[in-house]
Amino acid sequence: MLVVAAKTLVQLRDGRKIIGIMRSFDQFANVVLEEAIERIIVDKRFADVPLGLYVIRGENVVLIGQIVRAATLQPMRAPSHARSRAPDPILTRARSHAARMRLRRPTRSARC
């Protein structure tokens, strides 16, 4: 069961992973995330790109999941402090990797 005001991961159709505090959702899987970040993973490293308030259209959603702590299985609440930014070289590499991955994805054919 999804809980509003809990930290949530949303995986999109293009492979992006958006993490934020869920503020609202509806029957079409439209989602509103507060303090959203895009997590870009390259090899064993990752970078978080701050997005702020983010509205996701339901047709792009592949997966929605609440993030819980493994030890206690309690929902994670968003921290009240500001998030730290990743160093620029890591972020630049992660963004270029994400762009290459988006270009590599097959497109749907208009004919069936």
CB 4 within 8 A of CB 34: no
Using only C-alpha atoms, the chain has a radius of gyration, in whole angstroms, of 15
CB 86 within 8 A of CB 37: no
Query: pLDDT band at residue 108, thresholds of 50, 70 and 90?
Result: low
Domains belonging to the chain, first-starting first, are 7-104 (2.30.30.100)
Residues 49-102 have pLDDT tens digits of 999 999 999 999 999 999 887 666 556 565 555 445 555 676 677 777 777 766
